[in-house]
Amino acid sequence: MFDDTGVLIVGSGHTPFGRLDALNLEQLIVMAANEAIEDAGVDPAEIDAVYLGHFNAGLVPDAFASSLIHQTHPALRFKPAVRCENACASGSAAIHAGLRAIQSRAARTVLVIGVEKMTSRTTPEVTEALACAGYKNDPRESGLSFPQQFARVAQAYAERYQDPLPVMAAIAAKNHGNAMRNPLAQLRRELDTAFCNAVSERNPMIAAPLRMTDCSPISDGAAAIVMTCERRAPRHARQVRFRAATHVSDMLPLEGRDLLAFEGPHRAMQRAYAEAGIQLQDLDFAEVHDCFTISELLLYEAMGLAAPGEGHRVLDDGTVQRDGDLPVNLSGGLKAKGHPVGATGVSMHALAYRQLTGRAGDMQCPGAELGLVFNMGGMAVANYASVLEAVRA
């Protein structure tokens, strides 16, 4: 539980996501960090520590990426800087490191950056690198890519409940529509459900039954936030408080787990509700980890929006649509905003911060006061949930 000091986000930075050939890893870090520092109005000399979320797995030659943070500003030289890695939840791992530093009073103000440079590698090379986050000590699993793993989940859903493909297509169409309002999104093209639900030359099968529109893209990008303690927060014009921040890790092997239960995500989000002292219906929006559309469907059920096998209902009745009671992935999600792995968790928090401070532009959820962020590493292995609250003057 949090002590009385509290931890608040007071600034954010975010590069575009996509194929950013002109920018290397260092430049992405510097761009996002400088924007967050300027947005927070903080003197870089007052930053006590810096945390970097970065997966890498051979995607770039920069194996000591935390050292690149110091290129942001001369005042950051000699500040402690650490790289955090937890697969696709590396960004949230970095945020939690910063949170704990503030809570333990080892730091008062921290800078957190998430970054990944992926498009300089071929699709097979990226697929192989990401597969490093799977279990390697069982031959039945060691050769599986993540599209193949989530394809197994979609197949299992069809066997236990019903064919999820039409629902997955509706999720893809929803998130593409939302991305049209996000100028930072990678895939700003509107696709309808019929297109997403059909295999075609433009929408090929990736790992049956997953189609291209069911998969998040290969992306470059970075995001950053500045966090501070309660005592320093009044110095900053815009503040968002962590009401809760939970981390639940499950076993890496798929064997022995019910892949449809999403037990790690369920536990992380339920703990976050309890820690924040809220119920699901108190939330105004959610940003969740839709690395594949089947993941978002299972997260509807894990977060308590629908019973197991009934996730389609919240699409059918409009609950998770942009103008629904609990819009999900107003940013376009990983599916359309993009998924530069180490940046994803920080991006979710940065854009939630903008929602809660009324600066999300065309993505804005009117009057948003409480938001949920859920970021996941691997097949529901590293699970991070945050409840963020607007601080009004």
Indicate which residue of 14, 266, 289, 339 is catalytic: 339
pLDDT at 2 over 90: no
What is the pLDDT at residue 5? Answer: 65
* CA-wise closest residue to 10 among 298, 291, 381, 391: 391
Query: Residue 1: pLDDT band by 50, 70, 90 thresholds?
Result: very low
For the chain, list the domains and their CATH numbers.
Answer: 7-121+222-235 (3.40.47.10)
Query: Residue 392: pLDDT band by 50, 70, 90 thresholds?
Result: confident
Helix H or strand E segment including 14:
strand 7-14
What is the pLDDT at residue 3? Answer: 43
pLDDT at 102 over 90: yes
Q: What number is the average pLDDT over the span 253-268?
A: 96
Q: What number is the average pLDDT over the span 246-270?
A: 97
Burial call 234-246: b when 16+ CB within 10 Å, e when fewer: eebebbbbbbbbb
pLDDT at 376 over 90: yes
Percent of the chain residues topping a pLDDT of 90: 98
* CA-wise closest residue to 381 among 85, 66, 52, 17: 85
| Cα–Cα distance for residue pair 352/372, rounded to 1 Å | 8
pLDDT at 127 over 90: yes
Indicate which residue of 88, 215, 291, 365 is catalytic: 88
Asked whether 341 and 87 are in contact (CB, 8 A), the reply is yes
Q: What number is the average pLDDT over the span 123-150?
A: 95
Q: What number is the average pLDDT over the span 276-286?
A: 98
Q: What number is the average pLDDT over the span 117-132?
A: 96
Give the up-direction half-sphere exposure of residue 16: CA atoms within 13 A in the CB hemisphere. 10
| Cα–Cα distance for residue pair 174/181, rounded to 1 Å | 12
Residue 349 appears among annotated catalytic residues? no
> pLDDT tens, 187-219?
999 999 999 999 999 999 999 999 999 999 999
> pLDDT tens, 287-321?
999 999 999 999 999 999 999 999 999 999 999 99
Residues near 189 by Cβ (< 8 Å), separated by ≥ 6? 176, 180
pLDDT at 105 over 90: yes
| Cα–Cα distance for residue pair 393/390, rounded to 1 Å | 10
> pLDDT tens, 27-44?
999 999 999 999 999 999
Query: Residue 179: pLDDT band by 50, 70, 90 thresholds?
Result: very high
Residue 54 appears among annotated catalytic residues? no
| Cα–Cα distance for residue pair 169/191, rounded to 1 Å | 10
Q: Is the pTM of this model over 0.85?
A: yes
> pLDDT tens, 213-254?
999 999 999 999 999 999 999 999 999 999 999 999 999 999
